[in-house]
């Protein structure tokens, strides 16, 4: 922790690069944890930045020991960044919810700089605690760098908890690297599989970003529909040959209903705005939608379509992603996007392909006719 109280109950902060004199003063008097009131000691060695730690190990509700250098430095950096223009309190205790955000900005924004892994439940509970207390939760990721594979980024279940949504940037994710004093913004996040995403990436030095952060929109399309179809083929092959094969609930439904997963109509498995809401590949939920509903009722309403997908979620065939930080878009918004496309391309008029060659030709024509329509609705 970077803030403790002295014997008179006054807060003593080490956030602003404490000088020798302050270090000396702190060393020569007693300090206490602002949460559990147990004694804390100053740790000011050569490696970590100066901070307080409990003198004896015991269960403290608000502070777990072993705060990393990365967390301490990141928290101090952000404190210095925000206080240039706004009121900010470090490690402020919120008694109503027994929570202590890393930073409390203008008494309204609870900022968490999260470096270590935590459970989904804990993340959701803390977020809900802030919301119930009238605060806006703002989580910034500080863990190990997001891994890049070819042109795709790997976002785990834990990473995805930090996802935010805005009409300008689509799904976005913000991380901060204290070693380089740099924010990294991943926006326009588009999944090609449950944890692999296309992204537009910007690096912004801490000192050049205002608070609240405002980012410039990056332009340029980085994904084409042919890329997408290639990725989809690759995904299908992987499921069939390396994973559960025919025991895969999606593949078994496809075969049982007399279809071939590689010869499905091209509108089954297209990229759709908001598709990150469903963890499964779009070919899965779009097939269920088509097979369970649209094949009999092409003009179905979005509510009927939502009921179909909810039923598949209940059966365990589909899984929704958990996004605690936003409430729009919803599953219904995703379905409306899909139905709009489905109905505007007159999707029911084509027969299924008989051969791979015929399928390739069909996807080529589909790309020619609908790439613009699909991609302009996908990327913001």
Selected from 15, 33, 49, 110, the binder of Zn ion by CB under 5 A is 33
Three-class SS state of 141: strand
Is 80 among the residues that bind Zn ion (CB under 5 A)? no
- Report the distance separating Cα 229 and Cα 124, nearest Å: 35
- Nearer CB in complex with Zn ion: 64/244: 64
Is 88 among the residues that bind Zn ion (CB under 5 A)? no
Residue with tokens 């502070």: 63
> 142, exposed or middle or buried, with CB in 10 Å at 0-12, 13-18, 19+?
buried
Count of H-run helices and E-run strands, the chain: 10, 15
Selected from 13, 35, 202, 321, the binder of Zn ion by CB under 5 A is 35
Give the shortest CB-60-to-Zn ion separation in angstroms.
3
Do residues 50 and 42 touch, judged by C-beta distance below 8 A?
A: yes
Selected from 22, 23, 55, 60, the binder of Zn ion by CB under 5 A is 60
- Nearer CB in complex with Zn ion: 10/327: 10
- Report the distance separating Cα 120 and Cα 11, nearest Å: 32
Query: What phi and psi, each to the nearest 5 degrees, are found at residue 305?
Result: -65, -40
Rounding to the nearest 10 degrees, give the CA dihedral for residues 322, 325, 326, 331: 0
Give the shortest CB-247-to-Zn ion separation in angstroms.
50
Give the shortest CB-38-to-Zn ion separation in angstroms.
5
Is 375 among the residues that bind Zn ion (CB under 5 A)? no
Is 23 among the residues that bind Zn ion (CB under 5 A)? no
- Nearer CB in complex with Zn ion: 6/371: 6
Give the shortest CB-287-to-Zn ion separation in angstroms.
53
- Report the distance separating Cα 345 and Cα 366, nearest Å: 10
- Nearer CB in complex with Zn ion: 37/256: 37
Q: Which stretch binds Zn ion (CB under 5 A): 54-62, 70-78, 211-219, 297-305?
A: 54-62
Do residues 279 and 272 touch, judged by C-beta distance below 8 A?
A: no
- Report the distance separating Cα 48 and Cα 74, nearest Å: 12
Q: Hey, which residues between 233 and 292 contact Zn ion (CB under 5 A)? A: none
Q: Which stretch binds Zn ion (CB under 5 A): 26-34, 169-177, 252-260, 336-344?
A: 26-34
Give the shortest CB-32-to-Zn ion separation in angstroms.
8
Three-class SS state of 81: helix
- Nearer CB in complex with Zn ion: 57/327: 57
Count of chain residues binding Zn ion (CB under 5 A)? 4
- Report the distance separating Cα 340 and Cα 330, nearest Å: 16
Is 341 among the residues that bind Zn ion (CB under 5 A)? no
Kindly state the tokens that stand for 41: 């000691």
Rounded alpha-carbon distances, angstroms, from residue 370 to 119, 269, 347, 362: 41, 14, 11, 12
HSE-CB of 231 using CA atoms within 13 angstroms:
23
Rounding to the nearest 10 degrees, give the CA dihedral for residues 363, 364, 369, 374: 60
- Nearer CB in complex with Zn ion: 41/60: 60
Give the shortest CB-155-to-Zn ion separation in angstroms.
33
Give the shortest CB-46-to-Zn ion separation in angstroms.
25
Selected from 22, 23, 36, 177, the binder of Zn ion by CB under 5 A is 36
- Nearer CB in complex with Zn ion: 33/270: 33
Binding footprint of Zn ion on the chain (CB under 5 A): 33, 35-36, 60
């Amino acid at each position: 922790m970077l803030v403790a109280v002295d014997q008179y109950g006054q807060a003593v902060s080490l956030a602003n690069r404490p000088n020798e004199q302050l270090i000396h003063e702190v060393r020569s008097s007693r300090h206490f944890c602002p949460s559990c009131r147990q004694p804390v000691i100053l740790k000011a060695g050569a490696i970590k930045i100066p901070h307080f730690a409990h003198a004896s190990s015991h269960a403290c509700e608000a502070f777990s020991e072993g705060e990393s250098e990365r967390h301490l430095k990141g928290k101090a950096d952000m404190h210095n960044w925000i206080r240039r223009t706004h009121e900010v309190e470090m490690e402020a205790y919120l008694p109503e919810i027994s929570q202590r955000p890393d930073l409390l900005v203008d008494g309204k924004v609870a900022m968490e700089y999260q470096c270590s892994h935590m459970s989904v439940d804990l993340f959701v509970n803390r977020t809900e605690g802030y919301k119930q207390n009238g605060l806006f939760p703002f989580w910034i990721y500080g863990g190990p760098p997001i891994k890049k594979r070819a042109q795709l980024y790997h976002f785990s279940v834990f990473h995805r908890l930090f996802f935010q949504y805005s009409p300008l940037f689509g799904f976005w994710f913000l991380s901060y690297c204290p070693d380089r004093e740099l924010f990294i913004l991943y926006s326009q996040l588009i999944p090609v599989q449950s944890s692999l995403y296309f992204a537009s990436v910007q690096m912004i030095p801490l000192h050049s970003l205002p608070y609240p952060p405002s980012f410039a929109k990056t332009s340029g399309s980085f994904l084409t529909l042919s890329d997408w179809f290639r990725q989809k083929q690759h995904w299908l092959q992987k499921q069939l040959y390396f994973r559960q094969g025919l025991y895969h609930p999606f593949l078994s439904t496809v075969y049982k209903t007399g279809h071939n997963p590689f010869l499905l109509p091209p509108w089954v498995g297209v990229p759709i705005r908001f598709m990150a809401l469903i963890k499964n590949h779009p070919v899965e939920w779009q097939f269920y939608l088509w097979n369970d509903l649209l094949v009999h009722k092409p003009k179905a309403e979005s509510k009927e379509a939502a009921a179909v997908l909810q039923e598949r979620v209940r059966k365990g065939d589909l899984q929704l992603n958990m996004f605690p930080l936003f409430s729009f878009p919803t599953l219904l918004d995703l379905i409306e996007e899909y139905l709009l496309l489905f109905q505007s391309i007159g999707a029911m008029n084509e027969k299924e392909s008989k051969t791979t060659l015929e399928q390739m030709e069909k996807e080529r024509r589909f790309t020619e006719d609908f790439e613009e329509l699909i991609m302009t609705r996908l990327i913001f």
